[in-house]
């Protein structure tokens, strides 16, 4: 068999094939190292004495639907120069693995378009072997993300499982890479990340988070020079939650059945952007609900005007709009709106910081959705390290492994 075929098909460059035989659904290639390539695996000397032989069988890439087994005659060499007694080095296999490097590469390629189960079935490998190959690849390429160029980051948490089990992720907002994963969601979860930042000697300019007290303390303590930007989507969500609570309270307290019918089922109309309601039927229903409930009307129009904070020309005008909004919320004398006004007043500096750095945690929400999809496709992960490695590789479309 031509040595060029062995190299291009199976990555074998120092061995020659002495014979080919067939076993069931497999093609077996009998290989042995060429004399001019045989040398001590320690010092590369050719001054040796043969001290035995061992037959080793290794799976390689298939030919069509036929499995290929490389049956290698491995020489044991006693070196006269370095006095070592070692088996010869087989370059196309790593360590004592039962598969070739070329097959491992094929597994990685197929894992981009199929689940572990699919790849294992297609190549007639065990599920554990495919997963092990994939995990080794991910660990080698993504276990230690490069943070030397990171300037803007986002921090968020996501639920791993039921029972309040969370993980916290840090994302490079410029590239969309997940650069850190921590267990839990408290302040201490990020301690290891801050150590990495200090060791790398980088200057993070801005951080986007929600209004979590733990994140606020962690960022202001460890990155005192960075600008903390509160995600405006989370601020709007807080207002939406307050509006929904007001609606629920009015519905519970309302005794008139006709009015209750009008209020019931208006949640979507109240929470969606008013400009997006085009149907006259829905507009009429919303107007009826607002006209008969003054507290609901006040809360709704405050919700609609809240978005104007992020549409101003500059930070100064935005500050005026925010101050006016807080004043109107206090004047409404509705407990939920008062609480919301207190929250915005306390976090005013971080809300207006958006005008210094136009960043948010929107990318993190997208990543969280991808993580949920990945978990669902794989029916969960028992190996948490494998799960984390797949998250770290998620930004690379070419390496977005399935299931």
Give 330-336's long-range contacts (Cβ < 8 A, gap of 24+): 332/295, 332/298, 332/299, 332/302, 334/246, 334/295, 334/298, 334/299, 336/242, 336/243, 336/245, 336/246, 336/249, 336/299
Q: Do 192 and 302 sit in the same domain of this protein? A: no
Range from 34-48, 220-234, 334-348 carrying the lowest mean pLDDT: 34-48
Q: Do 202 and 314 sit in the same domain of this protein? A: no
pLDDT tens-digit readout, 173-232: 999 999 999 998 888 899 999 999 999 999 999 999 999 999 999 999 999 999 999 999
Number of domains in the chain: 3
Sign for the pseudo-dihedral over CA of 111, 112, 118, 121: negative
Q: Do 205 and 242 sit in the same domain of this protein? A: no
Q: Do 241 and 337 sit in the same domain of this protein? A: yes
Q: Do 192 and 242 sit in the same domain of this protein? A: no
Round to whole Å and give the CA distance between 317 and 320. Answer: 5
Q: Do 259 and 350 sit in the same domain of this protein? A: yes
* Tokens coding 170: 């840090």
* Interhelix angle 335-346/294-306, nearest 10 degrees: 20
- What pLDDT is recorded for position 282? 64
pLDDT higher than threshold 70 for residue 113: yes
> Which CATH number goes with the domain that contains 221?
3.30.420.10
- What pLDDT is recorded for position 53? 92
Element (H, E) at 287: helix 280-291
- Among 22, 4, 105, 7, residue whose Cα is nearest residue 69: 22
Q: Is 219 within 8 Å of 207 (Cβ atoms)?
A: yes
Round to whole Å and give the CA distance between 71 and 51. Answer: 19
* pLDDT band with cut points at 50, 70 and 90 for residue 92: very high
CB under 8 Å to 196, separation ≥6 — which residues? Answer: 147, 180
Q: Do 306 and 375 sit in the same domain of this protein? A: no
- What pLDDT is recorded for position 381? 84
Residue 24: left if φ>0, alpha if ψ -120 to 50, beta else—which one?
A: left
pLDDT higher than threshold 70 for residue 279: no
Round to whole Å and give the CA distance between 238 and 347. Answer: 13
- What pLDDT is recorded for position 156? 93
- What pLDDT is recorded for position 58? 95
Q: Do 200 and 280 sit in the same domain of this protein? A: no
Q: Do 227 and 267 sit in the same domain of this protein? A: no
* pLDDT band with cut points at 50, 70 and 90 for residue 280: low
- What pLDDT is recorded for position 2? 74
Provide the whole-model pTM: 0.82
Round to whole Å and give the CA distance between 206 and 355. Answer: 12
Mean predicted lDDT score pLDDT of the chain: 89
pLDDT higher than threshold 80 for residue 59: yes
pLDDT higher than threshold 90 for residue 248: no
**Where in the sequence is the domain holding 213, given as residue range(s)?**
152-231+360-381
216 within some domain: yes
351 vs 270, which has greater pLDDT? 351
Last residue of a domain, one of 98, 113, 144: 98
- What pLDDT is recorded for position 249? 84
- What pLDDT is recorded for position 402? 53
């Amino acid at each position: 068999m031509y040595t060029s075929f062995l190299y291009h098909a199976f990555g074998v460059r120092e061995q020659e094939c002495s014979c080919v035989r067939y076993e069931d659904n497999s093609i077996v290639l009998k290989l042995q190292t060429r004399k001019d390539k045989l040398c001590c695996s320690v010092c590369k000397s050719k001054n040796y004495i043969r001290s035995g032989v061992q037959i080793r069988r290794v799976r390689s890439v298939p030919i069509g639907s036929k499995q290929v087994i490389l049956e290698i005659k491995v020489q044991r060499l006693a070196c006269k120069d370095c006095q070592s007694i070692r088996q010869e080095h087989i370059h196309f296999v790593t360590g004592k693995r039962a598969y070739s490097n070329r097959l491992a590469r094929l597994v990685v390629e197929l894992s981009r378009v199929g689940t572990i189960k699919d790849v294992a079935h297609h190549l007639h490998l065990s599920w554990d072997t495919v997963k092990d190959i994939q995990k080794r690849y991910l660990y080698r390429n993504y276990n230690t993300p490069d943070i030397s160029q990171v300037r803007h980051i986002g921090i968020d948490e996501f639920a791993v499982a039921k029972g309040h089990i969370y993980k916290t992720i840090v994302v490079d907002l410029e590239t969309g890479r997940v650069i850190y994963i921590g267990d839990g969601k408290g302040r201490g979860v990020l301690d290891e990340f801050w150590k990495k930042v200090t060791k790398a000697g980088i200057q993070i300019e801005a951080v986007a988070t929600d209004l979590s007290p733990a994140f606020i303390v962690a960022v202001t303590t460890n990155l005192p020079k960075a600008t903390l930007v509160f995600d405006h989507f989370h601020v709007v969500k807080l207002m939406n939650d307050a509006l929904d609570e007001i609606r629920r309270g009015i519905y519970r307290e309302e005794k008139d059945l006709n009015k209750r019918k009008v209020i019931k089922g208006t949640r979507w109309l109240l929470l969606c952007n008013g400009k997006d309601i085009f149907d006259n039927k829905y507009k009429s229903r919303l107007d009826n609900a607002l006209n008969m409930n003054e507290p609901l009307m006040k809360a709704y129009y405050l919700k609609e005007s809240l978005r104007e904070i992020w549409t101003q020309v500059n930070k100064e005008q935005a500050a005026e709009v925010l101050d006016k909004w807080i004043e109107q919320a206090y004047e409404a004398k509705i407990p939920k709106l008062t609480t919301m006004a207190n929250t915005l007043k306390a976090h005013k500096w971080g809300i207006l910081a958006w005008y210094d750095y136009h960043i948010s945690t929107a990318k993190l929400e997208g990543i969280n959705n991808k993580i949920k999809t990945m978990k669902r496709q794989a029916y969960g992960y028992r190996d948490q390290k494998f799960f984390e490695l797949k998250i770290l590789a998620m930004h690379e479309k070419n390496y977005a492994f399935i299931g």
